[in-house]
């Protein structure tokens, strides 16, 4: 059973009861991320996420870590382009202690100067880790080209220069501006009764003051002309990320897009996996993926290849995209994609953390709970003509591409995607 309560200050609480469970997964979601940052504070959301674990008036950073371990569950946090989340899964009988801990560091973090300096070094090492992982770094380059000067084009971690100058006033200002009740959703799934959960949260969350003044609305990014660029680096492989603008997460065509992604490169039987890896042996890793926000999104392809075969790989990719846009989807292929999507939905439903995340995202994006039955019903409605029409629309916009590896723009035949 799914329930929702809105406190007088605007904070939302959503919960889903799973009676057979012995644990509860809880997440505090803040509707703020990279897209809410300007260039001079890029990485601030992520820096704040780190700092919330670094001590309060009641608890030192070490004590917070020890209490998390004593609870015996799992606690973590993440920052994305449009949200920040603090979450954990604990035994149902330990939920009161966990909420006390979450609320303490969420509302009362000290932002001690020595901890800021220490965490600055940790984040700089995290940036170095990405720079040493070209299969991850290439996506940052791709998004920077795709979104241009819009904040969505900035990395979650921020740049070295900005992080080096991040200070306590900037972090505090960020929290005061965005960590306000009407931008917060508390989501829980597991062996939990909704009203009891609301009563447990009340003393910590219901008394938080409402926003005194509004925050500027998020600006939607513009769709830019396609850009293709090589970022030369001495590596063994050439890493490619290429794609086109997609759909907002709330689009009525999102189920068509989901199936298009599955057919293109979303699993082992997908066209790209079979053609690029299985039939030609051009890549070990190749897949397509989706990234969607409230007002925009994209469909992209990633692969890592031998630099000598990069143009052959691009030609294969173009060919498979043209085939899908040319109404070549068989009934068996579409049925298999639907089965894959349905299986993924139910497999995720077996995981409390996944269900908690799903409930929170539904509230943030749709303002309502979306039953599994509704998802399945809409998924089953999609036909091959729907997917073909969407593919034609998306793939004719032109592709933006980033290549990271031992190649230059002169060595890549970008004209492959311009020829008929």
pLDDT one-digit tens code per residue, 144-202: 999 999 999 999 999 999 999 999 999 999 999 999 999 999 999 999 999 999 999 99
Reading the block at residue 326, the tokens are 């040319």
Q: What is the pLDDT of residues 3-30, one digit of tens each?
A: 999 999 999 999 999 989 999 999 999 9
323 and 410 share a domain? yes
Q: Please state, in angstroms and as integers, the Cα–Cα distance from residue 376 to each residue in 346, 361, 384, following that order.
A: 10, 18, 17
- At 26 the pLDDT is 97
Backbone angles phi, psi at 101, to 5 degrees: -65, -50
pTM of the model: 0.95
Q: What is the pLDDT of residues 298-321, one digit of tens each?
A: 999 999 999 999 999 999 999 999
Query: Is residue 418 scored above 90 in pLDDT?
Result: no
- At 212 the pLDDT is 61
- At 30 the pLDDT is 98
- At 74 the pLDDT is 79
248 and 181 share a domain? no
287 and 329 share a domain? yes
Give the least confident one: 88-102, 211-225, 273-287. Answer: 211-225
Whether 163 is in a domain gets the answer yes
Work out whether strand 12-17 and strand 400-405 pair parallel, antiparallel, or are unpaired. Answer: unpaired
Cα distance between residue 351 and residue 168, in whole Å: 37
Asked if 24 and 189 count as a contact pair (C-beta separation under 8 A), the reply is: yes
93 and 8 share a domain? yes
- At 214 the pLDDT is 64
Q: In the block, which residue shows the tokens 């904070």? A: 11
Q: How confident is the model at residue 211 (pLDDT cuts 50, 70, 90)?
A: confident
Q: What is the pLDDT of residues 74-98, one digit of tens each?
A: 789 999 999 999 999 999 999 999 9
74 and 192 share a domain? yes
In which domain, by residue range, is 397 found? 228-417
Whether 405 is in a domain gets the answer yes
Backbone angles phi, psi at 213, to 5 degrees: -145, 150
Reading the block at residue 410, the tokens are 């002169």
Q: What is the pLDDT of residues 51-67, one digit of tens each?
A: 999 999 999 999 999 99
Q: How close are the terminal C-alpha atoms of the chain, in Å?
A: 53
Asked if 277 and 309 count as a contact pair (C-beta separation under 8 A), the reply is: no
Whether 214 is in a domain gets the answer no
Show which residues are catalytic: 49
Whether 217 is in a domain gets the answer no
DSSP string, 382-407: --HHHHHHHHHHHHTT--EEEEEES-
Give the least confident one: 207-211, 293-297, 299-303. Answer: 207-211
Cα distance between residue 386 and residue 382, in whole Å: 6
Q: What strands, in cross-sheet order, belong to the sheet with 228-232?
A: 228-232, 400-405, 238-245, 297-305, 283-292
246 and 342 share a domain? yes
Cα distance between residue 243 and residue 394, in whole Å: 9
Work out whether strand 23-30 and strand 2-6 pair parallel, antiparallel, or are unpaired. Answer: unpaired
CATH number of the domain residue 28 falls in? 3.30.830.10
Query: Is residue 328 scored above 90 in pLDDT?
Result: no
197 and 255 share a domain? no
198 and 234 share a domain? no
What would the 3-class secondary structure string for 278-298 be? HHCCCEEEEEEEEEECCCCEE
Q: How confident is the model at residue 72 (pLDDT cuts 50, 70, 90)?
A: confident
123 and 170 share a domain? yes
Whether 216 is in a domain gets the answer no
Cα distance between residue 376 and residue 252, in whole Å: 14
Reading the block at residue 207, the tokens are 């008394």
Asked if 61 and 115 count as a contact pair (C-beta separation under 8 A), the reply is: yes
- At 417 the pLDDT is 82
168 and 264 share a domain? no
Q: How confident is the model at residue 73 (pLDDT cuts 50, 70, 90)?
A: confident
The number of distinct structural domains making up the chain is 2
178 and 273 share a domain? no
Q: What is the pLDDT of residues 344-381, one digit of tens each?
A: 999 999 999 999 999 999 999 999 999 999 999 999 99
Whether 213 is in a domain gets the answer no
Whether 211 is in a domain gets the answer no
- At 419 the pLDDT is 55
Query: Is residue 1 scored above 90 in pLDDT?
Result: no
DSSP string, 10-55: S-EEEEEE-TT-SEEEEEEEES--GGG--GGGTTHHHHHHHHTTS-
Q: Average model confidence (pLDDT) for the chain?
A: 95
- At 213 the pLDDT is 63
Whether 212 is in a domain gets the answer no
Task: Give the bridge partners for 91, in sequence order.
Answer: 23
Reading the block at residue 356, the tokens are 């908690």
183 and 330 share a domain? no
């Amino acid at each position: 059973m799914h329930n929702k309560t809105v406190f007088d200050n605007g904070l939302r609480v959503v919960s889903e009861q799973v009676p057979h469970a012995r644990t509860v997964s809880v997440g505090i979601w803040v509707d703020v991320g990279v897209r809410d940052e300007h260039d001079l504070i890029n990485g601030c959301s992520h820096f704040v996420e780190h700092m919330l674990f670094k001590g309060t008036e009641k608890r030192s950073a070490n004590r917070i870590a020890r209490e998390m371990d004593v609870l015996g569950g799992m606690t973590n946090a993440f920052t994305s382009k449009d949200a920040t989340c603090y979450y954990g899964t604990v035994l149902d009988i330990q939920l009161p202690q966990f909420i006390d801990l979450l609320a303490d560091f969420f509302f009362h973090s000290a932002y001690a100067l020595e901890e800021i300096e220490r965490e600055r070094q940790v984040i700089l090492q995290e940036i170095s880790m990405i720079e040493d992982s070209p299969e991850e770094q290439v996506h940052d380059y791709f998004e920077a080209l795709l979104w241009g000067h819009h904040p969505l084009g900035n990395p979650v971690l921020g740049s070295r220069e900005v992080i080096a100058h991040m200070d306590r006033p900037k972090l505090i200002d960020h929290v005061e501006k965005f960590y306000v009740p009407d931008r917060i959703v508390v989501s829980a799934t597991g062996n939990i009764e909704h009203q009891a959960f609301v009563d447990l949260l009340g003393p910590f969350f219901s008394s938080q003051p409402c926003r005194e003044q509004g925050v500027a609305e998020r600006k939607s990014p513009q769709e830019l002309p396609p850009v293709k660029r090589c970022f030369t680096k001495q590596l063994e492989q050439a890493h490619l990320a290429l794609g086109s603008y997609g759909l907002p997460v709330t689009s009525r065509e999102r189920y068509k897009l989901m199936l298009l992604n599955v057919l293109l490169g979303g699993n082992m039987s997908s066209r790209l996996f079979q053609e690029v890896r299985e039939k030609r042996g051009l890549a070990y890793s190749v897949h397509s993926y989706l990234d969607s926000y409230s007002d925009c999104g994209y469909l992209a392809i990633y692969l890592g290849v031998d630099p000598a075969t990069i143009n052959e790989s691009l030609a294969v990719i173009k060919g498979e995209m043209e085939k899908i846009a040319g109404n070549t989807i068989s009934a068996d292929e579409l049925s298999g994609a639907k089965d894959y999507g349905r299986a993924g939905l139910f497999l995720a439903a077996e995981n409390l953390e996944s269900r908690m995340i799903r409930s929170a995202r539904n509230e943030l994006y749709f303002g309502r709970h979306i039953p599994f039955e509704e998802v399945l019903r809409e998924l089953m409605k999609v036909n091959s003509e729907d997917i073909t029409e969407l593919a034609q629309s998306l793939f004719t916009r032109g592709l933006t591409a980033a290549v990271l590896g031992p190649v230059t723009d002169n060595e890549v035949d970008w004209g492959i995607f311009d020829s008929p």
